[in-house]
Amino acid sequence: MNVKASLITLLLLLWSTGSAFGQGIQYVIHISVDGGGSSYIQSLINDNALPNFNRLVTGGAWTFNARDDYDYTVTLPNHVTQVTGRGVEGVDGHNWTDNGDPAAGQTIHSNKGSYVAGVFDVAHDNGLRTGMYASKTKFSLFDTSYKAVNGAIDLTGVDNGRGKLDSYVCDENTSTLTDSFITAMKSDPFNYVFVHYADPDAAGHDGGWGSDEYNTAMIAVDGYLGRIFDMVTSDAVFKGKTAIVLTADHGGKDYDHSDPTEPLDYTIPFGVWGPGVTAGADLYALNNTSRLDPGTDRPPYSDAVQPIRNGDAPDLELQLLVLPSVPGSTINVAQNLAVPEPSSVGLLVMGLASLLACRLFAGRQK
């Protein structure tokens, strides 16, 4: 048996061992609320206008004081961060800075000059079904980057192919997008799925962040959350087996969100709800040795102890599915964002699995 085959065998053994430390989660739904600034959501919750957002806060582990990328407070770069677990700039960044529709055939990898793995890679290579439901056309970047012709070769166990994204749906009507998502989940469930709601961002640009138009859009998204909650709590397939991770790409002020030094632009929510998650917990209190509440500051990536970021999501979600971190990720690569604190043995298992996965990924890029 060659070295790679031995590593694969050991990796699979570690994952199977690690499952004993999981919470029985089989499905993870990642929800990104485009333009969902924390102060606006918090105010609407206080006015009892967002009962389903409040359900995430009171029934899960939550913070209103997370951060997006240090350099960019715009949509597409931050969503690439939410998929890859990397910041935007630098040698280790994903380097996607454009915020418009990508050119035909352009990928995250062609822009970077090397393959940029994402959450879809790890989930799909381990035999899980993946999907993305987007409400902006620019999200075609993910479909192009991770479809069969552009995805990396699967060297993990059984070959599940190069297409890392099993289903991609774009619909600017977020009500029908939600219908499509729920219908698909009930017919052929996704183990990992990314759902994007553009409504607050569109309303913020049109009427201003915190305007009546913005608040109406946020209330609409709350209704979609309610429908998703109904599905995962009433359907036996999902009940007790599903986690929801919700965050945002940026907030906003007045009619814009492009200033990375503006607190209303960079202060976003981050929350996790599901089996084993400490209900009503403050995420910073749960992670007081690995994360630092930044107050109103904007900590750079160079700080030794980081705030919670939207880029924490992919490796947390993989940890919930008892899978290793995204190869090449730099945010939460140790999978140490606790919701609640996992056992020390579980952390050791996942750390070893992540190390082996990164070794395998590095080898196949040579």
* Mean pLDDT of the 38-60 span: 98
pLDDT tops 90 at residue 143: yes
Phi, psi of 321 (to 5 degrees): -90, 10
DSSP 291-340: B---TT----TTSSSBPPBGGGHHHHHHHHTT-PPPTT--SSTT----SS
- Would you state the pLDDT for residue 21? 39
**CA nearest to 354, candidates 95, 102, 1, 7:** 7
Who has greater pLDDT, 58 or 360? Answer: 58
* Mean pLDDT of the 43-65 span: 98
Q: In the beta sheet, which residues pair with residue 256?
A: 253
pLDDT tops 60 at residue 29: yes
* Mean pLDDT of the 320-346 span: 85
Give all strands of the β-sheet with 61-67 in edge-to-edge order.
Answer: 167-170, 130-134, 192-197, 27-33, 242-247, 267-273, 61-67, 281-282
* Mean pLDDT of the 49-59 span: 98
Who has greater pLDDT, 342 or 133? Answer: 133
pLDDT classification of 340: cutoffs 50, 70, 90: confident
Contacts of 291 (CB under 8 A, 6+ apart): 283, 284, 305, 306, 307, 308, 337
- Would you state the pLDDT for residue 99? 98
Cis (ω within 30 of 0) for the bond into 340?
A: yes
CB atoms within 10 A of CB 284: 19
Contacts of 6 (CB under 8 A, 6+ apart): none
Both tokens of 294, joined, read 């930044």
Under 8 Å between Cβ of 138 and 100: yes
End-to-end CA distance of the chain: 21
- Would you state the pLDDT for residue 347? 47
Mean pLDDT of the chain: 91
* Mean pLDDT of the 264-278 span: 97
pLDDT classification of 362: cutoffs 50, 70, 90: low
- Would you state the pLDDT for residue 342? 46
pLDDT classification of 353: cutoffs 50, 70, 90: low
Per DSSP (E only), the strands in the chain are 27-33, 61-67, 130-134, 167-170, 192-197, 242-247, 267-273, 281-282
Q: In the beta sheet, which residues pair with residue 300?
A: none
Both tokens of 89, joined, read 């700039």
Q: What is the pLDDT of residues 196-217, one digit of tens each?
A: 999 999 999 999 999 999 999 9
Q: Which of 220-229, 257-266, 270-279, 343-352 bottoms out in mean pLDDT, i.e. has the lowest?
A: 343-352
* Mean pLDDT of the 292-297 span: 98
**CA nearest to 65, candidates 338, 273, 310, 252:** 310
* Mean pLDDT of the 290-302 span: 98
Residue with tokens 């209303």: 264
Coil vs helix vs strand at 153: coil
To which H or E segment does residue 59 belong?
helix 51-59
Q: What percent of the chain has pLDDT over 90?
A: 86
- Would you state the pLDDT for residue 273? 98
Whether the model clears a pTM of 0.75, i.e. scores above it, the answer is: yes
**CA nearest to 194, candidates 315, 314, 59, 358:** 314
* Mean pLDDT of the 163-189 span: 98
Q: What is the pLDDT of residues 244-260, one digit of tens each?
A: 999 999 999 999 999 99
Q: Return the CATH superfamily for domain 25-343.
A: Alkaline Phosphatase, subunit A (3.40.720.10)
pLDDT classification of 12: cutoffs 50, 70, 90: very low
Strands 61-67 and 267-273: antiparallel
Distance, in Å, from the CA atom of 104 to the CA atom of 97, rounded to the nearest integer, reads 17
The residues spanned by each domain of the chain are 25-343
Distance, in Å, from the CA atom of 38 to the CA atom of 42, rounded to the nearest integer, reads 6
pLDDT classification of 83: cutoffs 50, 70, 90: very high
137 Rama sector, left if φ>0, alpha if ψ -120 to 50, beta otherwise: alpha
